[in-house]
């Protein structure tokens, strides 16, 4: 029996942009995923340095962004959890939700994979799902390959590298542009752009 494959994509999504969406779509197609579930972070432990936008706004923007893709969904699991959210807890939650006929894939960008060894309970994280490392402008394939080898040596787990269409877009850059009154058209879906304006985010 062929296993059902589900993709998970975690992120702060502050805001979600086309870099996230293209990586998820290309992972879906290349790995034959039946769907990709986007998981906006509740209160991410590694982003204490700037004030992350209220999770409800980030959840709604993610929902607006994925609405036009029948294979994309958004989950409230992290948004609804109290306190800091860790990927390990989220993946455990999904692993317990589905039976073993479902194979879980976690889609991450190159930057996230490069510091995977600093993640809480990384060995457990790697047990719950297979990682897809999406290339990202600014990070070299050599860096990524080295990290993938290191993980393989340490934990015996394969991480798949996926060359995705390069989108040199980051949420940090979008927040800056909005703050400076610059256009973010064609960097985020239109519905997200309008949501940001209507709710006066990133001003």
Cβ of residue 32: shortest distance to ligand ATP, in angstroms? 20
Q: Which of 92, 96, 105 is nearest to 35 (CA)?
A: 105
Cβ of residue 108: shortest distance to ligand ATP, in angstroms? 4
What is the contact surface with ligand ATP in residues (CB under 6 A)?
A: 11-14, 19-20, 23, 108-109, 111-112, 134, 136, 167, 169-172
Q: Calculate the CA 142 to chain-centre distance.
A: 22
Rounded distance between C-alpha atoms, residue 46 and residue 164, angstroms: 25
Reported residue count of the chain is 203
Q: Which is nearer to ligand ATP, 22 or 191 (CB)?
A: 22
Q: Which is nearer to ligand ATP, 1 or 89 (CB)?
A: 89
Q: Which is nearer to ligand ATP, 3 or 47 (CB)?
A: 47
Rounded distance between C-alpha atoms, residue 143 and residue 94, angstroms: 29
For residue 20, how many other CB atoms are within 10 A of its CB? 24
Cβ of residue 20: shortest distance to ligand ATP, in angstroms? 5
Structure tokens at 28: 């879906």
Cβ of residue 99: shortest distance to ligand ATP, in angstroms? 27
Cβ of residue 162: shortest distance to ligand ATP, in angstroms? 10
Report whether the peptide linkage leading into residue 159 is cis, meaning its omega lies within 30 degrees of zero.
Answer: no
Q: Which is nearer to ligand ATP, 2 or 87 (CB)?
A: 87
Q: Which is nearer to ligand ATP, 3 or 176 (CB)?
A: 176
Taking CB positions, which residue lies at the least distance from ligand ATP? Answer: 109
Contact 60, 46 (CB under 8 A): no
Rounded distance between C-alpha atoms, residue 182 and residue 57, angstroms: 21
Q: Which residues pair with 36 in a beta bridge?
A: 7, 72
Q: Calculate the CA 104 to chain-centre distance.
A: 14
Q: Which is nearer to ligand ATP, 112 or 201 (CB)?
A: 112
Cβ of residue 15: shortest distance to ligand ATP, in angstroms? 9
């Amino acid at each position: 029996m062929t296993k059902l494959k589900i993709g998970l994509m975690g992120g702060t999504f502050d805001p979600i942009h086309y870099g996230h969406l293209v990586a998820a779509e290309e992972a879906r197609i290349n790995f034959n995923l039946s769907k990709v579930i986007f998981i906006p972070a509740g209160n991410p432990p590694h982003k204490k340095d700037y004030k992350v936008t209220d999770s409800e706004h980030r959840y709604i923007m993610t929902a607006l962004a994925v609405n036009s893709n029948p294979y994309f969904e958004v989950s409230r699991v992290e948004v609804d959890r109290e306190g800091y959210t860790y990927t390990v807890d989220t993946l455990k939650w999904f692993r317990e939700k589905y039976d073993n006929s479902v194979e879980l894939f976690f889609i991450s960008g190159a930057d996230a994979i490069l510091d995977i060894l600093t993640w809480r309970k990384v060995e457990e994280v790697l047990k719950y799902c297979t990682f897809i490392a999406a290339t990202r402008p600014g990070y070299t394939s050599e860096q990524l390959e080295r990290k993938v080898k290191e993980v393989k040596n340490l934990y015996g787990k394969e991480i798949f590298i996926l060359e995705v269409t390069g989108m040199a877009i980051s949420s940090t850059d979008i927040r800056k542009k909005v703050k400076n009154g610059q256009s973010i058209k064609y960097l985020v879906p239109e519905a997200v752009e309008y949501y940001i304006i209507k709710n006066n985010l990133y001003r």
